[in-house]
Amino acid sequence: MADAATQIQDTITANTVVLFMKGTKEMPQCGFSSRVAGVLNYMGVDFSDVNVLADEGLRQGIKDFSDWPTIPQLYVKGEFVGGCDIITEMTLSGELDTLLEENGVTFDKDAADKIREANG
């Protein structure tokens, strides 16, 4: 577990936005991971993806690290933001825009608005 925790800490320290997910941003392997990766991709967020299916130690390690039982998990500037439901709510409320802006993360505001319009 120490190895997974070190790997996770190094990853979230080295990358501004990280999504621990099942699959990759190009090929998500579960609906929840697909939803969050899809939002980030559509909004043009530059993020690193970590496929937890490739490493069982990492898959359990991220749950222990965050004390959050589900995957995907989004981190921005080293801070745990949430899973699929939280990211969906934050996207629709505009809170994700604010979080990204406050952390200097570039994204397409028009795309974010389109997501809200389509789900309003």
Residue 92 burial (C-beta neighbours within 10 Å; 0-12, 13-18, 19+)? middle
Range of the domain at 41: 2-118
CATH number, domain of 95, equals: 3.40.30.10
40-82 confidence digits (pLDDT tens): 999 999 999 999 999 999 999 999 999 999 999 999 999 999 9
pTM: 0.95
81-106 confidence digits (pLDDT tens): 999 999 999 999 999 999 999 999 99
Mean pLDDT, residues 16-31 taken together:
97
**Is residue 2 over pLDDT 70?**
no
pLDDT at 120: 80
Judge whether 37 and 19 are in contact, CB under 8 Å: yes
- The domain total for the chain is 1
